[in-house]
Amino acid sequence: MMKAVLLTIGDELLAGVTVNTNAAWLGAELTARGITVARIEVIGDDPEAICQALRRARAEAAVVILCGGLGPTHDDRTREALAGCLNRPLRLQPELLAQIEAYFRQRGRSMPERNRVQALVPEGFVPLPNPVGTAPGLWLQDEAGVLVVLPGVPHELQTLMRDVVLPRLEQLPGRPVVWQQTLVTAGIGESDLQQRLNGVEALLDDAVRLAYLPDPYGVRLRLTVQAPSDEQARQRMEKLVQFIQERIGSALVGRDAETLEVVVGQLLRRLNATVAVAESCTGGHLADCLTNVSGASAYFRGSVVAYDNTVKIDVLGVEPEVLAREGAVSEAVAVQMARGVRERLGAHFALSTTGIAGPTGGTPDKPVGTVWIGLADAHTAFARRYYLPGERRRFKQRATAAALDLLRRHLLQKAASTPALSA
Site for a second copy (CB under 8 A): which residue of 77, 79, 301, 342? 301
Query: Any contact of residue 31 with a second copy (CB under 8 A)?
Result: yes
CA distance 266 to 244: 22
Query: Any contact of residue 267 with a second copy (CB under 8 A)?
Result: no
Query: Any contact of residue 155 with a second copy (CB under 8 A)?
Result: yes
Min CB(132)–a second copy separation in Å:
8
Residue 140 vs 287, nearer CB to a second copy: 287
Query: Any contact of residue 302 with a second copy (CB under 8 A)?
Result: yes
Hey, what's the torsion of the CAs at 319, 282, 390, 412, to 10 degrees?
Answer: 100
Site for a second copy (CB under 8 A): which residue of 310, 363, 413, 418? 310
Residue 51 vs 141, nearer CB to a second copy: 51
CA distance 396 to 281: 7
Hey, what's the torsion of the CAs at 212, 217, 218, 221, to 10 degrees?
Answer: -40
Site string for a second copy, 71-90 (x = CB under 8 A): -xxx----------------
Site for a second copy (CB under 8 A): which residue of 82, 225, 286, 373? 286
Min CB(14)–a second copy separation in Å:
4
Q: Which stretch binds a second copy (CB under 8 A): 225-233, 242-250, 256-264, 298-306?
A: 298-306
Pairing relation of β-strands 370-376 and 381-387?
antiparallel
Query: Any contact of residue 24 with a second copy (CB under 8 A)?
Result: yes
Query: Any contact of residue 252 with a second copy (CB under 8 A)?
Result: no
Query: Any contact of residue 156 with a second copy (CB under 8 A)?
Result: no
Scan residues 341-360 and list those touching a second copy (CB under 8 A). Answer: 344-346, 357-360
Query: Any contact of residue 304 with a second copy (CB under 8 A)?
Result: yes
Can you point out the beta strands (E) in 143-270? 145-150, 177-185, 208-215, 218-227, 252-255
Query: Any contact of residue 296 with a second copy (CB under 8 A)?
Result: yes
Encoded amino acid at 264, one letter:
V
Q: Which helix (H) or strand (E) holds 331?
A: helix 331-345
CA distance 168 to 171: 5
Phi, psi of 156 (to 5 degrees): -70, -45
CA 42 distance to own-chain centroid: 23
Residue 140 vs 240, nearer CB to a second copy: 240
Pairing relation of β-strands 349-355 and 370-376?
antiparallel
Site for a second copy (CB under 8 A): which residue of 118, 303, 336, 354? 303
Min CB(73)–a second copy separation in Å:
7
CA distance 239 to 253: 19
Pairing relation of β-strands 2-9 and 349-355?
unpaired
Q: Which stretch binds a second copy (CB under 8 A): 230-238, 261-269, 288-296, 414-422?
A: 288-296
Q: Count of residues binding a second copy (CB under 8 A)?
A: 93
Closest CA to 349 of 320, 323, 376: 376
Query: Any contact of residue 9 with a second copy (CB under 8 A)?
Result: no
Encoded amino acid at 229, one letter:
S
Scan residues 359-378 and list those touching a second copy (CB under 8 A). Answer: 359-360
Site string for a second copy, 378-417 (x = CB under 8 A): ---------x--xxxxx-x---------------------
Phi, psi of 166 (to 5 degrees): -60, -45
Query: Any contact of residue 59 with a second copy (CB under 8 A)?
Result: no
DSSP-derived secondary structure letter, 205? B
